Structure 1
Amino acid sequence: MSAALTPTSPVPAAPQGAHRQPGFWPGLALAAAIAAAAMGLAALPALQAAGLSALTLAIVLGIAAGNTVFPAIAGRVGSGVDFSKAMLLRAGIVLYGLRVTFQEIAGVGAAGLAVDIVVVAGIFCLGTWLGTRWLKLDRETSMLIGAGSAICGAAAVMATEPVVKGQAHKVSVAVATVVVFGTVGMFVYPWAYPYLGLSEHAYGVFAGSTIHEVAQVVVAGRAVSEQAASAAVIEKMLRVMLLAPFLLILSSRLGAGGGADGTRSKIVIPWFALLFVAVSGINSLHLLPAAWKAALIQLDTVLLAMAMAALGLRTHIGAIRQAGAKPMLLAAVLFATLTVGGYALNVGAAKLFG
């Protein structure tokens, strides 16, 4: 689940009839053009030798455009870019199931699930405690930053907002912080891989259990290998699927079953994560002809590259300044805990569960 936005732009829902909104087709074309450029560059021998994949290049090109020319045209192409960033990413993750089998999902096993549960509970509680007790932030901002860091970035922030009753500016600040540090992790993890002493599979589980956004996990995994990417996506999907029980537990603990008008907070179910598992099952049973599978995998690469391009276009450097010092400091501490503590947790779980 992914969205990279400035603090004034919350994660957009993809409304029905989005293709009729002004700027939809131009925005889609812009994301496709950047994706095509990235895929072309990724085929160059020099960039292949440097380990730069099409997805990494797409987000880098997107960030470059997003902080230069894009702001001037955002009003004319924004709906298509946001559709690419939200819906095309989900479609790409669902189709990514064609690269994964149930045997690989089982390979993540009890250790991977246990790590995810500890990460979600531990990071959220730590974020709430540090934010309110140490940094003297309000509870809602602390919880939103904690949820985004613990589960799946900006989408988790948006899903948690109706439960904690956070105001719009608090949501925007939380989104900005998790986008910034998730993007940092996306580039730091592959760079650090040779020094971690982890197999490609173990690295993937580490990345999936600790990097903020689904899109960032895909890039960090693919930068190392397909095996690492598969393990990373599987682990991340397990973490994403913890969003629904997390919201249920949080709602009951806060007594947020209803507002002043008696309505209940909506609990978000990450259906795309469940569809990813279903497509993995289809792949495991070898139900698709080889030619169909190859074509769908190529389509998946295109969709993911477009989503990365859109993610880059919506990643604005100004988010760091606008978020403020205390929220950024809280997010930085949580990022360091995810990186260092998550590494130790993964190594320990691998030894404990064999």
Structure 2
Amino acid sequence: MRSPLSLNGMLPGLALAALIAASAMALSSLPWMQSHGLSALTLAIVLGMTLGNLMPGPWHGTLAPGVNFSKQRLLRLGVVLYGFRLTIQDVGHVGWAGIAIDAVILGSTFGLACLIGTRWLAMDRKTSMLIGIGSSVCGAAAVIAAEPVVKGRADQVAVAIATVVVFGTISIFFYPFLYSLNEQWQLIPGGQAGFGIYTGSTVHEVAQVVAIGKSIGVEATDTAVIAKMVRVMMLAPFLICIAAWLARQPDAESGRGSAKAMIPWFAVGFVAVVLFNSLRLLPAAANDVINVVDTALLAMAMAALGVSTRVGAIRQAGAKPLVLALILFAWLVIGGAFVNHWVMSFVL
């Protein structure tokens, strides 16, 4: 029986990840952090990277078991519990137009990331995919959810998260300006509700979507959040498709494809939880507690990822990831506006 020894070995890393997560959650509750769309997940990886790069080298060996457990097992559990934030009823609030917009933007953004990243910028496939997933679905949460499927290194995941944080933060200040322009140009129909769908379908993080919506109005906030959560709901089937696609691709080292697709069971669990949550069997108070626990688990995973990431490895990635993220941001803003215009005009 090795479990007691294994648990003792994991305690230092788990304790550090928990401490960083608690600090990040406390900081994220501050009004300034909320107004700038800085979520607990973003703050957790920043704090983790800071501590990880400052602490003495030998400490990493002691912390490794708990850190690895946090960024692997706790991450998967956190993704499953994330389903308690969503219901099938959320889909109905944006209608088929909102679903179609989310699907088109998700698929096109990820496709552009793979095409431009690997062929035009000559980046490695995993970094391109992680940046594409973060830009097309839901920012940092999507990147860490995709890591077990893509099997990216810690530095590749950190680079992808950094890019979506940078351009997601720019969105907070840029989208209210776009709303004022849209009032004159009327490119995106539907007033605040229409612009809310545009915001939810194109902005990276949920926290950033909320910050933008609040700066515009209540109606924009409501539709933006719902459109964003429908986009988040697409994460599980998207990851399953990615897993199946990767199984057919040649491995970079062996040159052979995988024998079979590895089903990301945590994504299946995510869907199951969404379906259960749609029945509304749990009281609201229980859901609130689960969501806090889930945020803590994901923040611990992000903290562990930060601790194991070296700044030097990110520097080696160079400017190409930022260029790719900039191109995707431009597509989300401009291409996303035309997708919203075309679909909404067709429906209306």
Residue 290 of structure 1: CA displacement? 3.4
Q: Name which of 47, 54, 64 aligns with 1:61.
A: 47
TM-score, with length taken from structure 1: 0.70
Query: Which residues of structure 2 form unaligned runs of 5+?
Result: 134-141, 180-193, 214-220
Give the structure 1 partner of residue 298 of structure 2.
304
- Contact map agreement 2:176 2:212 (CA 8 A) in 1: no
Report if the CA contact (8 A) 2:49-2:310 is conserved: yes
Task: Give the conservation status (yes or no) of the 8 Å contact 2:118–2:128.
Answer: yes
Deviation of the 1:77 alpha carbon: 0.9
Q: Distance in 2 between matches of 1:293 and 1:176?
A: 30
Q: Equivalent residue of 1:86, what SS?
A: helix
Code of the aligned partner of 1:178: A
| Corresponding position of 2:332 | 342
Q: Post-superposition shift, 1:206? A: 1.3
Q: Secondary structure at the match of 1:67?
A: helix
Per the alignment, residue 23 of structure 2 pairs with: 37
Q: Any idea what SS the aligned residue of 2:54 has?
A: coil
Deviation at 1:196, TM superposition (A): 4.1
Q: Is the 8 A contact 1:94 1:272 kept in 2?
A: yes
Match of 1:286 among 280, 283, 286: 280
Partner of 1:134: none
Partner of 2:118 in structure 1? Answer: 128
> What is the CA distance between 1:76 and its match in structure 2?
0.8
**Quick one: which amino acid aligns to residue 206 of structure 1?**
T
| 1:287 partner letter | L
Is contact 1:28-1:84 (8 Å) kept? Answer: yes
CA distance in 2 between counterparts of 1:156 and 1:302 reads: 19
Q: Which residue of 2 aligns with 1:321?
A: 315
**Taking structure 1 as reference, are residues 39 and 334 closer, same or farther at Cα in structure 2, changes over 3 Å only?**
closer
**Consecutive unaligned residues in structure 1, runs of 5 or more:** 1-15, 132-136, 162-169, 209-216
Residue aligning to 1:242? 238
Partner of 1:202: 198
Deviation at 1:29, TM superposition (A): 0.8
Partners of 1:158 and 1:233 lie apart in 2 by: 22
Measured in 1, the distance between the counterparts of 2:206 and 2:3 equals 28
Report the TM-score, using the length of structure 2 for normalisation: 0.71
Match of 1:181 in 2: 163
Contact preservation (8 Å) 2:28, 2:43? yes
CA-based RMSD:
3.8
Take 2:146 and 2:80, find their aligned partners in 1: how far apart are those partners?
A: 18
Alpha carbons 1:67, 1:317 under 8 Å: kept:
yes
Shift of 1:349: 2.0
AA at the equivalent of 1:343: V
Does the CA-based 8 Å contact 1:157-1:174 persist in structure 2?
Answer: no
Deviation at 1:219, TM superposition (A): 5.5
State the 1:202 CA deviation.
3.4
- Give the superposition deviation at 1:26: 1.2
Is structure 2 residue 261 aligned with structure 1 residue 271? no
Which residue identity lines up with residue 273 of structure 2 in the other structure?
Answer: V
SS in 2 for 1:288: coil
Structure 1 segments, 4+ long, off by >6 Å, are 16-19, 170-173
Would you say 1:80 and 2:86 are equivalent positions?
no
Task: Render the CA deviation track for 1:222-265: whole Å, top value 9, x for unaligned.
Answer: 6657965664454245255334434545665x577xx78x9844
Q: Are the equivalent residues in 2 in contact too, given 1:237–1:273 (CA < 8 A)?
A: no
Are residues 76 and 199 of structure 1, via their aligned partners in 2, closer, same or farther at CA, if it must alter by over 3 Å? farther
Code of the residue aligned with 1:313 in structure 2: it is V
Instruction: After TM superposition, give the deviation of residue 193 of structure 1 in Å.
Output: 4.2
**CA 1:90–1:218 in 2, change beyond 3 Å: closer, same or farther?**
farther
In the alignment, structure 1 residue 150 sits paired with structure 2 residue 136: no
The CA distance in 1 between the partners of 2:5 and 2:328, in whole Å, is 38
1:147·1:157 contact (CA, 8 Å) conserved in 2? Answer: no
8 A contact 1:145–1:157 mirrored in 2: no
How many aligned positions are there?
307
- Matching residue's letter, 1:83: F
Distance 2:54 2:325 in 1: 28
Inter-partner Cα distance in structure 2 for 1:280 and 1:159 = 20
Q: Structure 1 vs Structure 2: percent identity of aligned residues? A: 35
Aligned to 2:138: none
Partner Cα separation in structure 2 for residue 49 and residue 332 of structure 1 = 24
Distance 2:238 2:154 in 1: 23
Q: CA deviation at 1:288?
A: 1.3
Distance 1:281 1:270 in 2: 17
